[in-house]
Amino acid sequence: MPAFTATSAQRPSHAVDPRLEQALRQTVLIGVVAVLLLPAARGHNAWLGWMPLWLLGMPLTAWWALHRFRLPRRTLPPAIRARRRRPRVQARRRTLPGRPGRLPQAA
């Protein structure tokens, strides 16, 4: 009997496989180190294209997709949050002095 047995009742449906997350985390870390320390990793390869895309961009995208494309929460200061909650009122048109409010309609 394996030491780790998870049923669907124990793990929610949106749970992430920890082995896959650890592998993606390590891949991103290795990609960051390679791009920072190796000049060839910042260049272009004839077969693969731009190397930072494959060393950083694709593993980061896979890691983001693993978490179902959740965006990080953005916390705003209370003053900005209060300002955004005001109801927007449409501006009214003013008539210029000396001009009639409405033009006469043609027959």
pLDDT digits (tens), the chain, 107 positions: 455 555 544 555 567 888 989 999 999 999 999 999 999 888 998 888 899 999 999 999 999 888 887 666 777 777 666 665 556 777 777 776 766 666 667 76
Greatest alpha-carbon pair distance for the chain in Å reads 92
pLDDT given at position 101: 61
User: What predicted TM-score, i.e. pTM, was given to this entire model?
Assistant: 0.51
Residue 49's H or E segment, with its range, is strand 49-50
pLDDT at site 23: 92
What 3-state class would DSSP assign to 107? coil
Report helix, strand or coil for 1: coil
Note the pLDDT of residue 8.
45
Burial 55-74 (b: 16+ CB within 10 A, else e): bbeebeeebeeeeeeeeeee
SS3 45: strand
